[in-house]
Structure 1
């Protein structure tokens, strides 16, 4: 083999390694997060019968941001930041459920109000952390985490968090018919042999798991979990047997497009929440103008 052949072969191998190690890993992560957040949003909207419900409704995103901020302030490595975000997101939801139990509310409104309370508390804690953070290093990392990005996703992160998202997606796909049952009146649900409170809590738990894992992997990404379920229902109707899989597909495609724009528009990655905001706001306005009943 000549030197020229070795040179071009080496360049080809390097390009292949770059595609497999960086681009492919990132695309898989984007697809999983897009599908997961969209399915979580569709699940929350069905469980709470509220078209404005989103994966942030129980405070999981703000709680995860607080966990990430704590790790960033302690100069922890990226895998510790991801773990702290995941744990704090789950802890926030547990506290939300505890507050709801003390309120003795018999409807989902109490749980939503508890989520608003915890979100407000976590936002205050996060604001305090940003105030004491080093403005030249730590503050930028915290703000960038709040806005979401796949720039730092690698094999280790995908292998550790990806299976959690995949399990959540598969579970919701298998049990999606239960979401239809939960929209029925209480007497009918009990007649068909379903415990409404237990099933509601299970669905909320898996939707929360998806949200926490997504935030753990790439930070907070807005609008996907709110807008995509409405797009899917416009396409296939309100039946969750079809709307939930459609949400997964549309969410994955939409986030791939947003991530491609985030990488292509500027030399540095634009935070994803900025891109998804520019995409999601016009779509949501169009849905409202069209007169779609969002079930508020």
Structure 2
């Protein structure tokens, strides 16, 4: 009965996402009608409407992929580490990617090279985090989290150094704007370069989501059912990290999505990751799509996304804490 209810709920959520995509195509600083959106997909839109809708559609695809990816990365980290406060920047990937982007901005590189630099630095940061854990010969999740905190602190210092020497009239503003997240500069080229990583990561986690349930068991039980806990844990961490790094290199750092959305999804469909992870992907895409639509519609200039997601995410998380105070995060 619960299984059938979850399928119905996820179907409703998916339909809601499709409706919101259509509405988001219509809303902006230049509003369009539903018929114009429909004409775009049938190839009958006039040139001016077609150009606007093309730009919006590219941006919406990026928003949906990043929302799903960041949310699934957060849910994966929370399951692997058994900590409901874990988020996609847990191992320092977000901060590391910000350092990479800041260095590229400081050297006057194009958006394409900024994305590459952010992605590589994010991956390097996680590699260093895992190396610290390996040097300590520890398989403890707590040690790994502490290693992530160490690397995050180091990357914050590096980021502060880059911001200190950056030109305050131009470069510093770009770095700060990157830290707050925005899809304003996403185009077809940047989406094509990053989308495959997001799609592969999302598909992998969806196909192996039952293993997240297994990893919540004790080590001996996991080995009894034929799963290597170390290999599977590292694989889950790797793909969650790839999703986070790809998201950051595409649109900068976006807060709260990876932390809040997994809790929202579990409150709807339960703790079983076979249902919670797909629901998390859909819910994350919905929440980020709403946030981005607001960010590009309520002001002349795009509002940084972390500002919007903060205003939305904080009250939601407070509600979650109140509802789960006797259960624990």
If the TM-score is normalised by the length of the shorter chain, which range does it land in? over 0.9
More off after superposition, 88-97 vs 256-265: 256-265
Q: Given that residues 52 and 294 in structure 1 are in contact (C-alpha distance below 8 angstroms), is that contact kept between their aligned partners in structure 2?
A: no
- The equivalent of 1:264 in structure 2 is 297
Q: Establish whether residue 164 from structure 1 lines up as the match of residue 197 from structure 2.
A: yes
Runs of 5+ in structure 1 lacking a partner? 1-9
Q: Establish whether residue 94 from structure 1 lines up as the match of residue 142 from structure 2.
A: no
- The equivalent of 1:4 in structure 2 is none
Q: How does 1:173-212 map to 2 (within 5 A)?
A: 173-212=206-245
Q: 2:161 pairs with 125, 128, 131, which one?
A: 128
Q: 2:317 pairs with 270, 284, 289, which one?
A: 284
Q: Given that residues 29 and 162 in structure 1 are in contact (C-alpha distance below 8 angstroms), is that contact kept between their aligned partners in structure 2?
A: yes
In the alignment, the residues of structure 1 paired with residue 224 and residue 214 of structure 2 have an alpha-carbon distance, to the nearest angstrom, of: 11
Q: How does 1:1-296 map to 2 (within 5 A)?
A: 12-20=46-54, 22-292=55-325
Tell me how far 1:255 sits from its aligned partner.
Answer: 0.2
Q: Given that residues 67 and 89 in structure 1 are in contact (C-alpha distance below 8 angstroms), is that contact kept between their aligned partners in structure 2?
A: yes
Runs of 5+ in structure 2 lacking a partner? 1-43
In the alignment, the residues of structure 2 paired with residue 272 and residue 263 of structure 1 have an alpha-carbon distance, to the nearest angstrom, of: 9
1:19-57 deviation line (CA, Å, top 9, x unaligned): 11x100000000000000000000000000000000000
Q: 1:293 to 1:255 in 2, by over 3 A?
A: farther
Q: 1:293 to 1:13 in 2, by over 3 A?
A: farther
In the alignment, the residues of structure 1 paired with residue 325 and residue 263 of structure 2 have an alpha-carbon distance, to the nearest angstrom, of: 9
TM-score, normalised with respect to structure 1: 0.95
TM-score, normalised with respect to structure 2: 0.85
- The equivalent of 2:30 in structure 1 is none
In the alignment, the residues of structure 2 paired with residue 293 and residue 232 of structure 1 have an alpha-carbon distance, to the nearest angstrom, of: 19
- The equivalent of 1:7 in structure 2 is none
1:71-94 deviation line (CA, Å, top 9, x unaligned): 001000110000000000000000
Q: Given that residues 133 and 139 in structure 2 are in contact (C-alpha distance below 8 angstroms), is that contact kept between their aligned partners in structure 1?
A: no
In the alignment, the residues of structure 1 paired with residue 85 and residue 64 of structure 2 have an alpha-carbon distance, to the nearest angstrom, of: 23
In the alignment, the residues of structure 1 paired with residue 322 and residue 104 of structure 2 have an alpha-carbon distance, to the nearest angstrom, of: 43
Q: Given that residues 63 and 88 in structure 1 are in contact (C-alpha distance below 8 angstroms), is that contact kept between their aligned partners in structure 2?
A: yes
Q: Given that residues 40 and 225 in structure 1 are in contact (C-alpha distance below 8 angstroms), is that contact kept between their aligned partners in structure 2?
A: yes
Tell me how far 1:254 sits from its aligned partner.
Answer: 0.3
Give SS of 2:46's match: helix
Q: How many residues align?
A: 286
